[in-house]
Amino acid sequence: MLAFRSRGRRSSGRRPRRSRLKGSALCLLLILLFAGCVYESEVTRRESSGARLNSPDSDRYGVLQFVWVREYRAPWGVFKFPDGGKPLELALYATVMQVGKGVKREVGRIELEPVRRGDFGNLNDAEYRWLQPDRLGVRVEYGYTGMLERVTASELVIPPLVPPE
């Protein structure tokens, strides 16, 4: 019968020190990564003025003002450093306001779909065209030029400022 002798230390069931250091470093790295993937709970809303259009029959339909709204959550944690991080975008839409004869009201909303999860990209171009005095065609291009471009088109029906009697 042959007997085998082990060389070196006997195994006491404990992992060698080097393995524990690697495991600790991996855990620390994972904690830092997840800390950087956290966003603030508060939703920030940023508005910017868009096109202002006179209706062909402005006495009856007034003026339309587009207000673009971007809602997002700001980044929080380690990966906010050094450039501020990338926000998680929740919504991008245009609120269409009708103004005239002492009236200011919302008459429509144009919602855009994200180009990828949490990202709408840039507003590249928008075309507005009156189809009739009470109908407006809107075409919006957004996303990233040459890569993830999206186009949305819609038609808005504009009510008269004062309802007919």
18-63 tens-digit pLDDT: 666 677 777 776 666 655 567 788 999 999 999 999 989 988 999 9
Helix or strand holding residue 70 (H, E): strand 63-76
Q: Give, in order, the Cα–Cα distances in Å from 62 to each of 68, 71, 96, 150.
A: 20, 28, 12, 30
Cα(127)–Cα(50) distance, rounded to whole angstroms? 11
Location of structure tokens 């009856």? 60
* Whole-number percent of the chain with pLDDT over 70: 76
Phi, psi at 15, each rounded to 5°: -75, 150
CA distance 67 to 93: 8
Pair 40, 139: CB distance under 8 Å: no
* Cα 10–chain centre separation: 58
Residue 83: the pLDDT is: 67
pLDDT in the model for residue 120: 86
The residues pairing with 106 across neighbouring beta strands, listed in sequence order, are 97
Give the residue among 56, 54, 59 at the shortest CA–CA distance from 132. 56
Backbone angles phi, psi at 33, to 5 degrees: -65, -45
pTM of the model: 0.70
pLDDT at residue 112 is higher than 80: yes
